[in-house]
């Protein structure tokens, strides 16, 4: 059985391509727009992250083999520009989350003596849930004294597809009257010679919905005196309570960045959404030894 840590995969597989030296920070700006107040010049970036990569076997009664798979892929494109304690951004983010449960049921077979017909059936059931999230967003940040303020406004579109796909593989054979069904030496070759294969597939959707809604985040950041390279921020998330097929919950997030060297960053993030368990994330990033 392979059971991979979701958080570990999220940290391991993340690609960033940026036109400037602060490429990794551009991946954080959409979730912490107060960072825009520190933006200098223009920058374009592309990010790709892969997380929730999981495959595991599941024990189920009356199933020959059962498994669960999940995958989360999220690319985004971001343009930022700023100077003099003010910054702006515009971007697009796409996220695809998929979960599939597969059950291969045991083969059943029967032989109808009167019809001289043999039939074998094997079913494969797939329970799926696919969520596609798209965000077109703009944002701005401004420094007011030692405080940095930021706001992000987005048009969020979510598509949810959930259901079951039932596939049945069927083998059937009909033999002639000259075959004695009580004699295996005649019956088995006759069935093998007359086997025909067919596959039936039925999609049984439970939900197929999509909806768009406006959303907004506000963040407040600062660099406390006395600790070089430390930045703290508080983010108020999903303030417009967007009503999508899977409701997006409002909440708070705390984000800190500590940069003891110009080439090294340590990130910590804690988040609590209404009705959800708290989530924490710790990561480190090397920005490039050439900057040291």
Query: What is the arithmetic mean of pLDDT over 16-42?
Result: 75
Q: Is the pLDDT of residue 187 over 50?
A: yes
Phi, psi (5° rounding) for residue 238?
55, 55
Query: What is the arithmetic mean of pLDDT over 33-46?
Result: 90
Q: Are 3 and 56 in contact (CB under 8 A)?
A: yes
Indicate the domain borders of the chain: 6-291
Question: Global pTM?
Answer: 0.75
In tens, the pLDDT along 55-72 reads 888 888 778 888 999 999
In tens, the pLDDT along 232-274 reads 999 999 999 888 888 888 999 998 888 887 777 788 888 888 8
User: Can you tell me the distance from the alpha carbon of 185 to that of 269, in angstroms, rounded to the nearest whole number?
Assistant: 71
**What is the CB neighbour count within 10 angstroms for residue 11?**
14
User: Can you tell me the distance from the alpha carbon of 271 to that of 227, in angstroms, rounded to the nearest whole number?
Assistant: 24
Q: For residue 17, what pLDDT band results from cuts at 50, 70 and 90?
A: low
Of 276 and 218, more confident: 218
Q: What is the pLDDT of residue 1?
A: 34
Q: Note the maximum CA span of the chain.
A: 98
Q: What is the pLDDT of residue 292?
A: 38
């Amino acid at each position: 059985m392979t059971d991979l840590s979701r958080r570990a995969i999220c940290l391991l597989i993340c690609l960033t391509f940026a036109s400037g030296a602060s490429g990794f920070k551009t991946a954080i700006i959409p979730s912490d727009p107060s960072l825009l107040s520190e933006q200098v010049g223009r920058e374009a970036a592309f990010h790709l992250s892969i997380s929730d990569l999981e495959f595991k076997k599941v024990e189920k009664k009356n199933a020959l083999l059962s498994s669960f798979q999940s995958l989360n892929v999220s690319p985004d494109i971001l343009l930022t520009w700023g100077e003099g304690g003010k910054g702006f951004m515009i971007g697009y983010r796409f996220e695809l989350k998929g979960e599939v449960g597969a059950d291969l049921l045991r083969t059943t077979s029967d032989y109808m003596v009167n019809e001289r017909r043999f039939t074998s059936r094997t079913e494969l059931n797939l329970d799926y849930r696919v969520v596609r999230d798209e965000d077109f967003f703009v944002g701005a940040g401004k420094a007011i004294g030692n405080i940095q303020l930021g706001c992000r406004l987005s048009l969020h579109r979510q598509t949810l597809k959930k259901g079951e796909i039932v596939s049945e593989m069927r083998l059937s054979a009909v033999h002639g009257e000259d075959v004695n069904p009580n004699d295996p030496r005649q019956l088995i070759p006759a069935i093998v010679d007359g086997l025909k294969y067919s596959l039936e597939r039925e999609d049984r959707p439970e939900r197929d919905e999509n909806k768009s809604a406006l959303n907004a985040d506000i963040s407040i950041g600062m660099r406390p005196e006395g600790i070089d390279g430390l930045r703290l921020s508080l983010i108020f998330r999903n303030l417009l309570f967007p009503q999508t097929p899977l409701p997006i919950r409002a909440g708070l997030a705390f984000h800190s960045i500590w940069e003891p060297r110009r080439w090294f960053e340590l990130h910590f993030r804690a988040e609590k959404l209404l009705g959800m368990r708290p989530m924490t994330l710790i990561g480190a990033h090397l920005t490039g030894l050439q900057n040291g």
